[in-house]
């Protein structure tokens, strides 16, 4: 059986997009599931837009995600001589020619066709030029492009996802495949590359379907072995249009910075357009490799739902050990200015993480949720200390009562269970538990919403707990807000 060989071929013209990652993932899964090879090819022939920083972003993002490729990275910019050789071959065989039509002439031609209800296409004006006439024009310095002669016929191919796809090539006209011998264009170089790399399967987005007949025709002209195609459904934004830059930053870098885990991103993307055949929703990369098949890819577009990604990510976060989660959260706390690199131990970070592990959707959430752990003094409006209609005097009394009760509790008994028993027994004496417990929780965290007061007090320890209650008391007695 022939070895399956797939490739991911991004252009380094911007940050790696989540839609591109799904394409890479599906190529990776298909190749690995079949014991084949997965290659990375950087399509950098666009000299003006291709930048080293974007190639670096592609490489680092794929490595972070764990999508390893076989052999060395292929770069089109290193293969110009190969493309030139193949272009010369097509020109010599009269399967391509130099076209000297100006932009104005092409626009007029297209407008005429459209006005007559015909498909806009190039009508082959320069096709009749002999090779000698073409060379004379080139020598005179006339600008040209290289066009491929499109044979008019009904062309069809079998898409591994969509079945039979058919085109009438008469509607295409002769296509431009290079600006000159040193500047080949996409539809040409991709054919040369796939043939040279022995690619067997091209798995890519459905927006490439219009390119497929052009590439098949070029394959035939060059005598290349045909490849099999599988066109993936588009990833859609919430407005049901193709996910794009206008929907915001959907780069891998953005999600990585915000604290999404690579395993969660891959898990989430795998289920965008692919159905595992069960209700199961959490898969490791190894499990995806084992389960994946092209037959289970759907034809319809798949919605990019950030809430869904958050759920998947939170599921992976809850599976992490507290020490490992603390290490993963540390850079986000440092970025927020809450901790520094010279911190001697992770104990306080682990306490914060342990308290909020069940609430984290992404790692960066820890900074807003648990900042009170790392602040010397909290800042908040005194009004949020008040439980519903409670007055300032009632709130002050409540905080003083909490301080009195907690002061009497020995540190050896300072844990969530004992704290809960002690404070709930007192809270039952009030007309509502909130009168005692709400001000206590706010005094400890400075927040309207947070973990429960017993959890927080247990994590903060007796000394800091009493200190913060006293600071809240002082604020109410003096007026104003926390510093």
Provide the 3-class DSSP secondary structure of residue 379.
coil
Q: How far is 44 from 56, CA to CA, in rounded Å?
A: 13
Provide the 3-class DSSP secondary structure of residue 108.
helix
Residues 6+ apart with CB under 8 A from 369: 356, 359, 360, 450
Of 245, 290, 425, 448, the catalytic one is: 245
Give the strands of the sheet with 5-8, arranged side by side. 5-8, 37-42, 74-75
Radius of gyration of the chain (CA): 32
Measuring CA to CA, which residue among 238, 131, 127 is closest to residue 175? 127
b/e sequence 247-286, b meaning 16+ C-beta within 10 Å = eeebbbeebbbebbbbbbbbbbbbbbbbebeeeeeebebe
**Is 245 among the catalytic positions?**
yes
367 in Cβ contact with 333 (< 8 Å)? yes
Q: How far is 202 from 228, CA to CA, in rounded Å?
A: 6
Q: How far is 345 from 347, CA to CA, in rounded Å?
A: 6
Q: How far is 45 from 177, CA to CA, in rounded Å?
A: 12
Residues marked as catalytic: 245
């Amino acid at each position: 059986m022939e070895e399956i060989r797939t490739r991911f071929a991004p252009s380094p013209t911007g940050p790696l997009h989540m839609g591109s990652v799904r394409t890479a993932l599906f190529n990776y899964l298909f190749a690995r599931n079949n014991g084949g090879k997965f290659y990375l090819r950087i399509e950098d022939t666009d000299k003006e837009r291709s930048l080293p920083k974007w190639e670096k972003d592609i490489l680092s993002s794929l490595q972070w995600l764990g999508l390893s490729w076989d052999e060395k990275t292929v770069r089109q910019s290193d293969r110009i001589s190969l493309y030139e050789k193949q272009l010369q071959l097509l020109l010599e065989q009269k399967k391509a020619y130099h076209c000297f039509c100006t932009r104005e002439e092409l626009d007029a031609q297209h407008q005429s066709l459209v006005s007559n209800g015909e498909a806009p296409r190039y009508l082959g004006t320069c096709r009749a030029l002999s090779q000698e006439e073409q060379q004379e024009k080139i020598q005179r310095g006339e600008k040209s492009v290289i066009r491929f002669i499109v044979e008019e016929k009904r062309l069809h191919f079998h898409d591994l996802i969509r079945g039979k796809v058919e085109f009438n090539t008469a509607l295409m006209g002769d296509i431009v495949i290079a600006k000159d011998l040193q500047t080949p264009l996409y539809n040409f170089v991709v054919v040369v590359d796939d043939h040279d790399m022995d690619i067997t399967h091209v798995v890519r987005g459905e927006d490439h379907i219009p390119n497929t007949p052009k590439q098949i025709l070029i394959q035939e002209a060059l005598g290349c072995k045909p490849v099999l195609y599988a066109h993936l459904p588009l990833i859609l934004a919430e407005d049901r249009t193709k996910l794009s830059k206008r929907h915001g930053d959907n780069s891998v870098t953005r999600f990585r910075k915000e604290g999404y885990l690579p395993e969660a991103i891959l898990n989430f993307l795998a289920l965008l357009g692919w159905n595992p055949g069960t209700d199961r929703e959490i898969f490791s990369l190894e499990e995806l490799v084992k389960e994946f098949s092209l037959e289970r890819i759907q034809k319809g577009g798949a919605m990019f739902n950030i809430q869904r990604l958050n759920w998947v990510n939170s599921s992976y976060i809850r599976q992490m050990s507290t020490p490992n989660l603390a290490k993963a959260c540390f850079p986000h706390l440092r970025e927020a200015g809450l901790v520094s690199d010279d911190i001697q131990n992770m104990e306080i970070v682990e306490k914060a993480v342990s308290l909020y592990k069940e609430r984290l959707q992404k790692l960066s959430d820890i900074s807003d949720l648990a900042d009170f752990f790392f602040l010397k003094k909290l800042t908040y409006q005194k009004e949020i200390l008040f439980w519903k209609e409670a007055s300032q005097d009632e709130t002050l009394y409540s905080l003083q009562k909490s301080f009195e009760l907690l002061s009497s509790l020995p540190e050896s008994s300072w844990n969530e269970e004992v704290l809960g028993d002690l404070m709930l027994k007192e809270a039952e004496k009030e007309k509502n538990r909130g009168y005692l417990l709400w001000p206590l929780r706010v005094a400890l965290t400075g927040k309207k919403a947070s973990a429960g007061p017993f959890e927080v007090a247990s994590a903060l320890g007796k000394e800091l707990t009493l200190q913060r209650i006293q600071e809240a008391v002082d604020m109410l007695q003096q007026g104003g807000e926390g510093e």
